[in-house]
């Protein structure tokens, strides 16, 4: 048993039954599971103080307001943010990226630099602004081995860039970028930096003051929080330059029939009744994560990823995406299988081994389409992933390889596209 395996009992979704073994959940990069403490916090809001923060003066409203602002302070401390007033609660990182993108005062010809491996959330909005406002979108191509080419970044910056918008850790292959170096190089050229921290903040220590980023966004449903919770972090003075996506209740100091005065950040960006239950649930998730400790989380990620990597290292039909060293992609094991469609593989693992992975293009369609790949299979880990989970995953992959022969007409580095519409049926279950 690993030193964190005892925590699995805190996650109701991992409970088995007398007739069914516990599921093997390897899709935490999409959404983490939530511990009982989060469910209790959500229920507590609705049963003990279901009020509206910042509006009424009764005890329900006062209690939820106190806890809501306390959560803002907790996330500011956790992220090393300059001020709690630089924490804006949103639905997810996608909304955070859109808030920055739509909120800046763009001029035709302003350049935005993204990598060629960005999630659709950090690509589509810039394509839209290129069409609607005349900005220019540039792409930094990342080396396939997981390294970072700083000279290529400098060449792009020398051409003039207003905003650099990169991921911190890739949801495609788990690599992380040297954010502090990127920020320093960008700031020397007067470019601002927006970082998508969805895959980084749940697994590694993030200190925004040390990184120096202008904007940092993440989805709290990837770090033990309820769905529909996220945040955007930035210095209040930087946030104040953004126009809100939505205005209305709670965003203004005052109104007349003809004009209004916006509140300062963060409240000008939090229009209407908020997801109090979700935010307070996310606070409980944060407290749980801090109790576990990010150092322990990172060490556990590395351990289970190394176990999977070693076990499948001798399988010639398994082709990893990104760095070969699992320590450089600790939370993600993404791969293709010669002769097997990724969706077929995911269904096979789910139906035969109760192993839940993600398949397809992982919202990074542009990267796969440029390489004519149908997608990949992604196993993603968190601190509740057990060695037994990894063993079930490996056993399932090996059986799948045995059942479906490799195509002799495909190159080793490219997976064949299966013509099957469903996964193979009735595979043996693990004993």
Per-residue pLDDT tens for 161-188?
A: 999 999 999 999 999 999 999 999 999 9
> Quick one: which H or E segment has residue 40?
helix 36-48
Would you state the pLDDT for residue 416?
34
Extents of the domains making up the chain: 5-30+293-403, 38-290
What are 186-232's pLDDT values in tens digits?
999 999 999 999 999 999 999 999 999 999 999 999 999 999 999 99
CB 2 within 8 A of CB 9: no
Separation CA 3–CA 17 (nearest Å): 24
Query: Topology of 5-30+293-403 in CATH?
Result: 3.90.1150
Separation CA 223–CA 345 (nearest Å): 27
For residue 54, is it left (φ>0), alpha (ψ between -120 and 50) or beta?
Answer: left
Q: Three-class SS of residue 176?
A: strand
Separation CA 394–CA 388 (nearest Å): 10
Q: Three-class SS of residue 83?
A: coil
**Tens place of pLDDT for every residue, the chain, 431 residues?**
457 889 999 999 999 888 889 999 999 999 999 999 999 999 999 999 999 998 889 999 999 999 999 999 999 999 999 999 999 999 999 999 999 999 999 999 999 999 999 999 999 999 999 999 999 999 999 999 999 999 999 999 999 999 999 999 999 999 999 999 999 999 999 999 999 999 999 999 999 999 999 999 999 999 999 999 999 999 999 999 999 999 999 999 999 999 999 999 999 999 999 999 999 999 999 999 999 999 999 999 999 999 999 999 999 999 999 999 999 999 999 999 999 999 999 999 999 999 999 999 999 999 999 999 999 999 999 999 999 999 999 999 999 999 988 764 343 333 333 333 334 444 443 33
Active-site option among 30, 52, 198, 363: 363
The number of helices, as runs of H, and strands, as runs of E, in the chain is 13, 15
Question: Is the backbone peptide bond immediately before 314 cis, with ω within 30 degrees of 0?
Answer: no
Separation CA 302–CA 323 (nearest Å): 13
**98 phi/psi in degrees, rounded to 5:** -65, -35
The domain at 38-290 falls in which architecture?
Answer: 3-Layer(aba) Sandwich (3.40)
Q: Determine whether 30 is an active site residue.
A: no
Would you state the pLDDT for residue 429?
39
What tokens were used for 111?
A: 């350049």
What is the DSSP code string of 107-163?
Answer: -TT-EEEEETT--GGGTHHHHHHHHHH--EEEEEPPPTTS---HHHHHHHHHT--SE
**C-alpha distances in angstroms, 215 versus 156, 193, 207, 284, 348?**
20, 6, 12, 24, 41
Would you state the pLDDT for residue 2?
57
């Amino acid at each position: 048993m690993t030193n964190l395996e005892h925590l699995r009992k805190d996650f109701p979704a991992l409970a088995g039954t007398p007739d069914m073994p516990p599921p093997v959940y390897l899709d935490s990069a999409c959404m983490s599971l939530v511990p009982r403490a989060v469910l209790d916090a959500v229920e507590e809001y609705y049963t003990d103080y279901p009020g509206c923060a910042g509006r009424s003066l009764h005890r329900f409203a006062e209690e939820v307001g106190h806890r809501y602002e306390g959560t803002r302070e907790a996330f500011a401390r956790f992220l090393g943010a300059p001020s709690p007033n630089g924490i804006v609660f949103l639905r997810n990182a996608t909304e955070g990226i859109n808030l920055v993108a739509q909120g800046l005062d763009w001029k035709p010809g302003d350049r935005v630099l993204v990598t060629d491996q960005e999630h659709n959330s950090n690509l589509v909005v810039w394509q839209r602004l290129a069409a609607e406002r005349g900005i220019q979108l540039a792409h930094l191509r990342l080396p396939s081995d997981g390294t970072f080419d700083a000279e290529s970044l400098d060449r792009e910056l020398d051409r003039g860039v207003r905003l650099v918008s990169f991921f911190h850790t890739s949801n495609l292959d788990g690599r992380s970028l040297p954010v502090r170096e990127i920020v320093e190089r960008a700031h020397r050229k007067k470019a601002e930096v927006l970082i998508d921290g969805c895959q980084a903040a749940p697994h590694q220590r993030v200190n925004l003051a040390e990184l120096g980023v202008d904007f940092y966004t993440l989805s709290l449903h990837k770090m033990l929080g309820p769905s529909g919770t996220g945040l955007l972090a930035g210095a209040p003075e930087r946030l104040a330059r953004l126009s809100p996506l939505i205005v209305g209740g709670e965003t203004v100091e005052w109104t007349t029939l003809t004009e209004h005065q916006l509140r300062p950040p963060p409240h000008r960006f939090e229009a209407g009744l908020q997801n109090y239950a979700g935010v307070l649930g996310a606070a409980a998730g944060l407290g749980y994560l801090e109790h576990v400790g990010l150092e322990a989380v990172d060490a556990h990620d590395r351990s289970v990823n190394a176990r999977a990597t070693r076990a499948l290292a001798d399988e010639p039909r398994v082709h990893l995406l990104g760095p070969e060293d699992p320590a450089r992609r600790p939370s993600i094991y993404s791969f293709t299988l010669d002769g097997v469609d990724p969706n077929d593989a995911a269904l096979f693992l789910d139906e035969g081994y109760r192993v839940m992975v993600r398949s397809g293009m992982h919202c990074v369609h542009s990267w796969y389409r440029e390489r004519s790949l149908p997608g990949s299979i992604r196993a993603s880990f968190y601190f509740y992933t057990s060695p037994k989970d990894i063993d079930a995953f490996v056993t399932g992959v090996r059986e799948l390889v045995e059942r479906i022969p490799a195509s002799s007409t495909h190159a080793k580095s490219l997976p064949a596209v299966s013509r099957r519409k469903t996964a193979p049926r009735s595979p043996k279950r693990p004993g």
